[in-house]
């Protein structure tokens, strides 16, 4: 069990550029979550996958955001036309269906939009 | 809507002293409650969880928490803190609305340890 991994760990981009983050969950976990954490705040839910199906999206997830989880394994989160307000830590978590609330988090991807 | 309040943004304690971090939640049914710890630049590590049963739960690193339904609280305690406990601590409640079983977090309490 290598835990949840996220890449890249840090990303600096210019406003208007597109960025993509990757999350690799714990291998036997079928649920995958994305959260966003801004400075001085707790994480906020963005979206959730059960296997390859995206089952819920937060209102925080604007049309510029898209997430995928092909084949129910790793997931990607893409932000198009980045804005300075997108600067945050993007956290991925995974869990097993039987203990869905017991979520294990990755180290996060810190995005800075200049 | 479900919510979590951590009244203390920042707490400073001396090494070896006892610690209590406060957490109040708002949830209509029996809550699933969690405490996570986050070191600078890192993800969140699960310290302990409450689902049901004994209201005093033990976690990793010597932490414990007590669920008090009458006070809607789930305070985190440690009898003697170590310098390595300096971190950000988050309380969370499980929210099953919509089926996602997502976590709703408080804004966190930053713990500083004086030598």
Stated as kind and residue range, the H or E segment containing A103 is none
- Please indicate whether residue A60 or residue B37 has the higher confidence score (pLDDT): B37
**Mean pLDDT value across residues B72-80:** 97
**CA atoms of B90 and B36, how far apart (whole Å):** 5
For B39-60, write each residue's pLDDT tens digit.
987 889 999 999 888 899 999 9
What pLDDT is attached to residue B98?
Answer: 60
**Mean pLDDT value across residues B101-113:** 94
**CA atoms of B57 and B36, how far apart (whole Å):** 14
What pLDDT is attached to residue A96?
Answer: 85
Determine whether the interchain pair B100/A4 forms a contact, defined as Cβ–Cβ distance below 8 Å.
no
For B9-33, write each residue's pLDDT tens digit.
999 999 999 999 999 999 877 788 9
Determine whether the interchain pair A43/B90 forms a contact, defined as Cβ–Cβ distance below 8 Å.
yes
Q: Spell out which chain A residues touch chain B, with contact meaning CB-CB distance below 8 angstroms.
A: 4, 6, 31, 33, 35, 40-45, 48, 55-56, 91, 93, 95, 100-108, 110
What pLDDT is attached to residue B2?
Answer: 81
What pLDDT is attached to residue A53?
Answer: 92
How far does A28 lie from chain B, in Å, by closest CA? 18
8-state DSSP, B99? G
**CA atoms of A40 and A21, how far apart (whole Å):** 22
**CA atoms of A95 and A4, how far apart (whole Å):** 10
pLDDT-derived band at B113, boundaries 50, 70, 90: very high
Chain B 34-63, residues with CB within 8 Å of chain A CB atoms: 34, 36, 41-46, 49, 51
Q: Examine the pLDDT at B99 and tell me if it is beyond 90.
A: no
Determine whether the interchain pair A33/B102 forms a contact, defined as Cβ–Cβ distance below 8 Å.
yes
**CA atoms of B23 and B73, how far apart (whole Å):** 6
pLDDT-derived band at B95, boundaries 50, 70, 90: confident
| Beta-strand relationship, B109-114 and B44-50 | unpaired
Sequence-ordered alpha helix ranges (H) in B43-86: none
How far does B47 lie from chain A, in Å, by closest CA? 11
Considering only the beta carbons, identify the residue of A41, A43, A48 that sits closest to B100: A48
What pLDDT is attached to residue B30?
Answer: 74
Considering only the beta carbons, identify the residue of B43, B102, B106 that sits closest to A108: B43
Contacts of A101 in chain B (CB under 8 A): 32, 34, 49, 51, 94, 101, 103
Per-residue confidence in pLDDT tens, chain A, 114 aa: 579 999 999 999 999 999 999 999 999 899 999 999 999 899 999 999 999 999 889 988 889 999 999 988 999 999 999 999 999 999 999 998 767 678 999 999 999 999
Chain mean pLDDT for chain B: 91
Residue count (chain B): 115
What pLDDT is attached to residue B17?
Answer: 97
What pLDDT is attached to residue B97?
Answer: 64
């Amino acid at each position: 069990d290598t835990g949840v991994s996220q890449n890249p760990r840090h990303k600096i981009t210019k406003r208007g550029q597109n960025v993509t983050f990757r999350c690799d969950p714990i291998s036997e976990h079928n649920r995958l979550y994305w959260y966003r954490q801004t400075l001085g705040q707790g994480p906020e839910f963005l979206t959730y996958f059960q296997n390859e199906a995206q089952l819920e999206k937060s209102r925080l997830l604007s049309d510029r955001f898209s997430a995928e989880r092909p084949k129910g394994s790793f997931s990607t989160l893409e932000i198009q036309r980045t804005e300075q307000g997108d600067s945050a830590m993007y956290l991925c978590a995974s869990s097993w269906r039987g203990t869905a609330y017991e979520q294990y988090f990755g180290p996060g991807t810190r995005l800075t939009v200049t | 809507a479900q919510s979590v309040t951590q009244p203390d943004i920042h707490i400073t304690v001396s090494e070896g002293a006892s610690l209590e971090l406060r957490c109040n939640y708002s949830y209509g049914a029996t809550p699933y409650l969690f405490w996570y710890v986050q070191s600078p630049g890192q993800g969140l590590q699960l310290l302990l969880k409450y689902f049901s049963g004994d209201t005093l739960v033990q976690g990793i690193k010597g932490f414990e928490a007590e669920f008090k339904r009458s006070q809607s609280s789930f305070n985190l305690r440690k009898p003697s803190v170590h310098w390595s406990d300096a971190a950000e601590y988050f309380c969370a409640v499980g929210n099953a609305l919509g089926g996602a079983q997502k976590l709703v977090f408080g804004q966190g309490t930053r713990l500083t340890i004086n030598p």
